[in-house]
Chain A
């Protein structure tokens, strides 16, 4: 028995005998009203995707899944491939199972592959990933005074993020993979 507050991406929920994997979730806690968890879940049997809201007070049944530490190797038009660095086992996952997390991937990244039996059903990224800034415009005078404290920057896997104006090309930054937010600049 589990609570909707324990839902994560990759959690497998048993709803009346059907298995659904959580592809995205958002806790909602209104100022005046009961809290709930808004999810997008995908049927493991049919691939159908639905939106479902779970009240925080509900009780759910989660299926047991196995987590495997692997590395992201490459992606193509439909799928990504990850490899176990010890056994050299490889698994494939369709791009739509990876969803919005596709943009954070870069070669050699350590990821957790979520397995239901022999089938890879989802991946979990580290909460923060380090990237190198490959392109960004230098800050211009007066930016801060007008309230412009952020600018666009491209990082080493091609993703574009918003960073503070003091960040320069060649800097190493941490990015939060739940939100896509810049977290901080770090030493190389």
Chain B
């Protein structure tokens, strides 16, 4: 080890403090900690993520091999537990995302905190997320809420939906944002416009929750009853993205449709397409509506606790020199 004993102990202690405070926070609120599988048959369908694939060989009379992957998030397993009737659960799980550049804020392997609560929605979840981060960091910060669709409408004059491709292309021209290619998905055009024009105006706020995403950017979240936005939010500390929280989609048919679209996007991008998780789809109808869930990067929370700007600074085995 190149780090001195005192540097190693400091880094270990930062993680102990963070995970102790996380567990204390959830247990005091009646959540149960669960352990979920890391190697699964359906590791995730998000078009921009690359699960690490592994071939698993079982031994014995039914010896066989199975193409599997390491989880990019414990989400699917967590939702199956909700389908089994568990109401309030959390987990601290190692997750893996191939094709990331290790260093700065990223690693191929990192620790995810996920929690779910049946009967609550994204607004309740935003409040709880702010309280959790304050509890872990020993602070009492205000978390400002910024509505993505409201900001988008203020600047571009409309709230974008799937059918608005032509309008979005026009806006790109008008605001001198690079013209979309023919195969660029609508959600990516929206996101590029947002990043180029709106982001610089909101990021000077030190800590904020960006919420109410356009429907094409819904991911696994529920669409609001008036169809205006998806009930999704992300918390940011400056430019650092901390989490991704939703009022969860519980409509299995809609979920199957979105998985189909994502599988198609993966095929087009020549990425491995893992099978749809039928167990997850079977569990969804048993979830109460609303149910909320959040995924928060623990490494980044430890960075905030340490006052560090680089993920390497908080690890005993710095990610940028691991691979």
Chain A: residues with CB nearer than 8 A to chain B?
A: 5, 26-36, 38, 51, 53, 55, 144, 146-147, 149-150, 162, 164, 166, 176, 178-185
Contact = CB atoms under 8 A, between A and B. Distances in A.
Which of B6, B7, B105, B309 is the most central at the interface, judged by chain A CB atoms within 10 Å of its CB? B7
Contacts, number: 89
Contacts of A29: 100-101, 105-106
Interface string B286-310: 0000000001000000000111111
Given A147-B138, A164-B10, A184 B3 contact: yes
A36 B195 contact: yes
Enumerate the 6 nearest inter-chain pairs by beta-carbon distance, A residue then B residue, closest first.
Answer: A179-B309, A179-B310, A181-B313, A32-B219, A31-B244, A162-B307
Which of A5, A33, A178, A181 is the most central at the interface, judged by chain B CB atoms within 10 Å of its CB? A33
B48 interface: yes
Given A147-B305, A166-B10, 17 more contacts: A26-B104, A29-B105, A30-B191, A30-B241, A32-B219, A34-B188, A38-B195, A53-B196, A144-B13, A149-B13, A149-B306, A150-B307, A164-B10, A166-B6, A176-B312, A178-B310, A185-B4
Contact of B310 (A5, A147, A162, A176): A176
Contacts of B10: 149, 164, 166
Contacts of B23: none
A31 B310 contact: no
Interface string B23-54: 00000000000000000000000101000000
Given A27-B104, A179-B308, A184-B3, A34 B48 contact: yes
Contacts of B17: 147, 149
Contacts of B305: 147
Contacts of B228: none
Nearest to B18: A147
B162 interface: no
Which of B188, B307, B309, B313 is the most central at the interface, judged by chain A CB atoms within 10 Å of its CB? B307
Contacts of B239: 26, 28, 38
A71 B231 CA distance: 54
A55 B48 CA distance: 12
B200 interface: yes
A65 B13 CA distance: 44
B80 interface: no
Interface residues of B, number: 39
A45 to B, nearest CB: 18
A33 B310 CA distance: 22
A183 B321 CA distance: 14
Interface of B: 2-4, 6-7, 10, 13-14, 17, 46, 48, 100-101, 104-106, 138, 187-188, 191-192, 195-196, 200, 217, 219, 234, 239, 241, 244, 295, 305-310, 312-313
B217 A51 contact: no
B2 to A, nearest CB: 8
B104 A33 contact: no
Contacts of A185: 4, 6-7
A34 to B, nearest CB: 5
A32 B48 contact: yes
A176 B305 CA distance: 18
B196 A32 contact: no
B306 A150 contact: yes
Contacts of A30: 48, 191, 234, 241
A36 B48 CA distance: 11
A53 B189 CA distance: 13
Contacts of B191: 30, 33-34
A179 to B, nearest CB: 4
A31 B295 contact: yes
A31 B309 contact: no
B309 A27 contact: no
Nearest to A151: B307
Nearest to A31: B244
29 contacts: A27-B101, A27-B105, A29-B100, A30-B48, A30-B234, A30-B241, A31-B244, A32-B217, A33-B187, A34-B188, A36-B192, A51-B200, A53-B195, A147-B138, A149-B306, A150-B307, A162-B307, A164-B6, A164-B10, A166-B6, A176-B309, A176-B313, A178-B104, A178-B310, A179-B104, A179-B313, A182-B313, A184-B4, A185-B4
